[in-house]
A and B are shown apart, each in its own frame.
Chain A
């Protein structure tokens, strides 16, 4: 199983060498040759290939859908995040692939989306329930995590006029480098940390449940 997964990773890497951060241009070539009327005798698959920077979802409480299945969950989760996971592929990420002091979409492809199902508090500021997109302005020792209301947009070119919150958090170097950009919720006494990790850099945004 482990070998199979390693093989998958290698296959992904080989397949994705030249097009890691898929640009909008690649997406506009999505299926156009699909039948839209009556069935045809010779249908061909117009299915898009899986993305090299695949999307993932995280919930708080952690694994909420599984908890819900075992009836251990409340009616609504606190938060969920959809983000895409680019690969390091031997590149130096922060300060090189992702320049410091410029907006970075915290992922790939569609803008990273966070949804709060109830109001929360972040750095003493009340954050209303609802959807936001997230982006980041990384620096060497700190990241600014920006909440923005221009939802359902592609991650490039964030519209700063729709920023609603800026949260500055420390960015720390780790001795372990991680291949895939990763976001995860970690339980804390009053809520959760939204932890981000890529290459050898990690940062956490503490979220308190009101």
Chain B
């Protein structure tokens, strides 16, 4: 009996120790990696790195947050992304662009703030749409009444296709170009920065 008690006591004590450091309930459902992972681009290009290196010579102008579907052997434009329809310019949550100062897009002043960026895709041209409704999923709730500016730009064809949908800022003389590259298509949205 005494032995049993000792064993029981020992078991209880070790279990107590164990319970202190280990959680025994099953894990919560943890999200897997997304097939179309999110990414972020800043203008000036690489601003966060420049900032911690104390090399940021001009103030932050913009950043874009978007998700990156893969081509994965599929025909993209005119098929996966239908022509003539408003597209979320990525995947999952709609693409967000934020301006940290007022800028000019298509001769129109765009006040600093967050916008959702959509694109209406056609074979020769794309229309970029800046819309005030943010934190949305896809283009399912797209409301034209909340548009801030629309601008149509020409499509350029690339000789080397991009597997992953990409958004990137490039420095141009008037400010920044937000460049989209996917499959064999490249499109640029000029942003005038004063």
Contacts and interface: CB of A to CB of B under 8 A. Distances in A.
A57 B38 contact: yes
B159 A59 contact: no
A195 B31 CA distance: 12
A182 B29 CA distance: 11
A189 interface: no
Contact of A36 (B23, B135, B163, B171): B171
Interface stretch (B5-13, B40-48, B104-112, B117-125): B40-48
Given A85-B33, A175-B23, A184-B30, A154 B52 contact: yes
Taking residues whose C-beta sits less than 8 angstroms from the other chain, chain B's interface range is 35 or more
B34 A80 contact: no
A55 B66 CA distance: 10
B22 A173 contact: yes
A65 B39 contact: no
Contacts of B32: 5, 180
B83 to A, nearest CB: 20
Interface string B45-67: 11111011100000010010100
Contacts of B46: 24, 27-28, 30
Interface in B143-194: 154, 156-164, 166, 168, 170-172, 177, 179, 181-182, 186
A45 B181 contact: yes
A201 to B, nearest CB: 10
A63 B177 CA distance: 31
B168 A46 contact: yes
Contacts, number: 159
Contacts of A174: 22-23, 27
A45 B186 contact: yes
A51 interface: yes
Contacts of A46: 168, 181
B39 A54 contact: yes
A172 B160 contact: no
A134 to B, nearest CB: 14
A64 B135 contact: yes
A44 B158 contact: yes
B102 interface: no
Contacts of B94: 65
Interface of B: 21-24, 26-28, 30-35, 37-40, 42, 45-49, 51-53, 60, 63, 65, 68, 70, 93-94, 135-138, 140-141, 154, 156-164, 166, 168, 170-172, 177, 179, 181-182, 186
11 contacts: A8-B33, A44-B159, A47-B181, A54-B39, A59-B135, A65-B136, A69-B140, A141-B21, A150-B51, A173-B22, A184-B31
